């Protein structure tokens, strides 16, 4: 999907259309390393705590 195509995706901020593929790549990589089959999406900026809690690293 091109940047122009991402501009019209409902709910996607146009300012972030160019960086979405990188974010997807990072998320997929982390999920693979943690053997995670699903993730919880938060709009409240609490993701760091969730990663720490469920990763078992700490």
Taking only the tens place, the pLDDT of each residue in 31-57 is 999 999 998 876 666 667 777 778 876
CA distance 41 to 6: 19
* 2 or 52, which is more confident: 2
Exposure string for 18-49, b = 16+ CB within 10 A, e = fewer: eeeeeeeeeeeeeeeeeeeeeeeeeeeeeeee
For the chain, give every domain's residue range. 3-55
Flag whether the pTM goes above 0.75. Answer: no
Mean pLDDT of 11-25: 88
Supply the pLDDT for residue 31: 93
């Amino acid at each position: 999907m091109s940047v122009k195509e991402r501009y019209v995706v409902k709910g996607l901020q146009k300012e972030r259309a160019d960086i979405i593929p990188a974010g997807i790549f990072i998320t997929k990589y982390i999920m693979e390393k943690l053997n995670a089959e699903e993730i919880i999406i938060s709009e409240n900026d609490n993701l760091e705590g969730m990663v720490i809690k469920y990763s078992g690293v700490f």
